[in-house]
Structure 1
Amino acid sequence: MTSEYKTEQPERSEIDALSGPAVVEFGTNWCGICKAAQPNITEAFAKYPNVRRIKVEDGSGRPLGRSFNVRLWPTLVFMRDGKQVAKLVRPEDSQSIADALALIDAPA
């Protein structure tokens, strides 16, 4: 699992074509709130090793984030087979993340 938000972005069509469970996480490497959320996100994901986590740097002029109506960071978009199932904006605890992960995958 990568700790950095990737500056290169996949196309929305690539995200929509994903099979199985995946989470697209939007934020930036310099965002303090994003950094503070990482321990809770990592803790929740530990129970869901089959879920793909795609960390994407967001910002002005970034079309992928706009296509998911991202306004604040971090924003986690929970997807199953290319369809959005849930979205969390600035999650404050690992349980809310785990609850959303359970909607797209069974815990290990």
Structure 2
Amino acid sequence: MNRRFATAEPSRSQIDSLPGPTLIEFGAPWCGYCLAAQPLLETALAAYPKLQHVKIEDGPGRRLGRSFRVKLWPTLIFMAQGQEVARLVRPTTADEIVQALRHFPSQF
């Protein structure tokens, strides 16, 4: 699990070209909802140590979040081979995250 938000956002093409299953987390380090989601993510992701987890600090003027139509934080986007397979907005339980992780291909 990645615990730090990247302040420099990657390009959409960089995100779309990431190999394998990837969790993209949009939020901000000062966001109360984002902070509340961290223990849930830690619990859910414990069983997925090889999952690539990219935390993107989002906000006004940030193009990557807009390209994914992010409106609320945290927004979790589950991608496989550059394609979105699931999305969660403001998860409230670790089980919600685990259910979304099940959208990844079975070989993961």
TM-score range, shorter chain: over 0.9
What is the SS of the residue equivalent to 1:70? coil
The aligned residue for residue 72 of structure 1 is 72
Measure the CA separation in 2 of the matches of 1:105 and 1:55: 22
Unmatched runs of 5 consecutive residues or more in structure 2: none
What is the SS of the residue equivalent to 2:98? helix
1:45 aligns with 2:58: no
Measure the CA separation in 1 of the matches of 2:69 and 2:103: 21
Tell me, yes or no, if the aligned pair for 1:23 and 1:79 is still in contact at 8 Å: yes
Tell me, yes or no, if the aligned pair for 1:78 and 1:85 is still in contact at 8 Å: yes
Q: CA deviation at 1:87?
A: 0.5
What is the SS of the residue equivalent to 1:103? coil
The aligned residue for residue 29 of structure 1 is 29
1:59 aligns with 2:35: no
Q: CA deviation at 1:105?
A: 5.0
Measure the CA separation in 2 of the matches of 1:47 and 1:105: 15
What is the TM-score when the length of structure 1 is the normalising length? 0.94
What is the SS of the residue equivalent to 1:104? coil
Where has structure 1 moved over 2 Å in runs of 4 or more?
105-108
1:47-91 deviation digits (Å, cap 9, x = unpaired): 111210000000011000000000000000000001000110000
Unmatched runs of 5 consecutive residues or more in structure 1: none
What is the TM-score when the length of structure 2 is the normalising length? 0.94
For the structure 1 residues 41 and 65, does the alpha-carbon distance in structure 2 shift closer, same or farther, using more than 3 Å as the test? Answer: same
Tell me, yes or no, if the aligned pair for 1:74 and 1:89 is still in contact at 8 Å: yes
Tell me, yes or no, if the aligned pair for 1:48 and 1:106 is still in contact at 8 Å: no
The aligned residue for residue 91 of structure 1 is 91
